[in-house]
Amino acid sequence: MSNSKAIKKAVLPVAGLGTRFLPASKAIPKEMLPIVDTPLVEFAVREAVEAGIEEIIFITSHTKRPIEDHFKRNQELETQLLSSDKKDYLDRINLKEYEGVKFSFIRQRDQKGLGDAVLQASHLINPDEYFAILLADDLFDGTPGITSQLLSAFESHQRSIIAINEVTDEETKKYGVIDGEIISENLTMIKEIVEKPQSNPPSNLAVTGRYLLKGSILESLKTIKPGFGNEIQLTDAISMLLKEDEVFGLKYKAEKFDCGSREGFIKANIHFARKQKIII
Ligand code: UTP
């Protein structure tokens, strides 16, 4: 990858209310709920680090303190593990892969939507710089990870790229939906993007929670008005980006679990428990 456009920063918005997981998410951020024994958010962080990301910028809220604690050292626990016969667990709380990775935490004051969450990182990203966004709710099992897949496509095109997948007609209501020109088997040049179309979706290609975007999108986010659900929508800012630049959609190769829903969360737990041979 050319150094001038290497993507090294990722924004992880984790400030949402997690209403669908109440009461579990009342005192514990839903991103800290475990898939087997690993908090959901850790999967997205590992995926980003595997792809070469060196700075993880969490957008949190005042109720999400455990996420901050999780990515900081816990000296007391480490000392206890060291002085007991549980040293093996040290590697599970201090992942070697995270050495050299910077974690920053910015609080979103009011939950005004995903677009507003991403906007909170605007002082850390230059308009010409490309950066990644990962929504931890969307959990993928794929090799290489889906962020690595997006970065490979970025190397060839040096333009914004978002992960897309085919969904049923009924499901288009729940997602951002794109329309565009098919460039190759997996790549589409996006012409149109609509947030949660309640009728006449432009296609069956839905946006999933992984994006590589040009930093200038943050300028657009400053100007847009609340859209669907009265929230500041990232989709509306991508729609503005389309007017000035090419944006691609990549059909990824991975199994997806929508862990923002109870069904997806349970399925992910069963999938990874089987994979780790904890259940048959
Ligand atoms: P969702 O739309 O899934 O909302 O957000 P949510 O609050 O997490 O969950 P429900 O719908 O209440 O159950 C998509 C992503 O955007 C983040 C969320 O944390 C999630 O990663 N988000 C959403 C924010 O960070 N801030 C917001 O204001 C809204």
Range(s) of the domain holding residue 55 = 9-275
Predicted local confidence at residue 3, as pLDDT = 41
C-beta separation of 137 from 40 below 8 A = yes
Please tell me if the CB atom of residue 113 comes closer than 6 angstroms to any atom of ligand 1: yes
Q: Which of 45, 62, 137 to mutate to test the pocket of ligand 1 (most atoms within 8 A of CB)?
A: 137
Q: Give the number of the atom of ligand 1 that is nearest the alpha carbon of residue 111.
A: 28
> Residue 110 corresponds to which tokens in the numbers above?
């009011």
Is residue 2 in a domain?
no
Nearest Cα residue to atom 27 of ligand 1: 113
* Residue-level pLDDT at 4: 47
Percent of the chain residues topping a pLDDT of 70: 99
Q: Give yes or no for a cis peptide into 197 (omega within 30° of 0).
A: no
Between CA 238 and CA 266 the distance in angstroms is 31
Within-domain flag for 129: yes
Distance from the alpha carbon of residue 231 to the mean position of ligand 1, in angstroms: 10
| Contact between residue 40 and residue 139 where contact means Cβ atoms under 8 Å apart | yes
Predicted TM-score of the model (pTM) = 0.96
Residue 269 lies in a domain: yes
The verdict on the CB of residue 234 being under 6 Å from ligand 1 is no
Assess if residue 216 is contained within a domain: yes
Q: Is 19 in the pocket of ligand 1 (CB under 6 A)?
A: yes
Task: Supply the CATH number for residue 196's domain.
Answer: 3.90.550.10
Give the lowest-confidence range in 70-79, 89-98, 200-209, 212-221: 89-98
Residue 190 lies in a domain: yes
- From CA 274, how far away is CA 11, in angstroms rounded? 30
- Residue 88's pLDDT band, with cuts at 50, 70 and 90, is confident
Whether 1 is in a domain gets the answer no
Q: How many folded domains does the chain comprise? A: 1
Residue 3 is assigned to a structural domain of this protein: no
Any domain includes 114: yes
pLDDT at 1: 43
Among residues 210, 217, 271, 222, the alpha carbon closest in space to that of 240 is found at 217
CA 260 to ligand 1 centroid distance, Å: 8
Per-residue pLDDT tens over the stretch 148-200: 999 999 999 999 999 999 999 999 999 999 999 999 989 999 999 999 999 99
Binning pLDDT at 50, 70 and 90, where does residue 14 land? Answer: very high
**What span, in angstroms and rounded, lies between the C-alpha atoms of 119 and 128?**
15
Q: State the average pLDDT over residues 254-258.
A: 97
Given ligand 1 and candidates 114, 211, 231, which is best to mutate, with the most ligand atoms within 8 Å of its CB?
Answer: 114
Find the 83 Cα to ligand 1 centroid distance in Å: 40
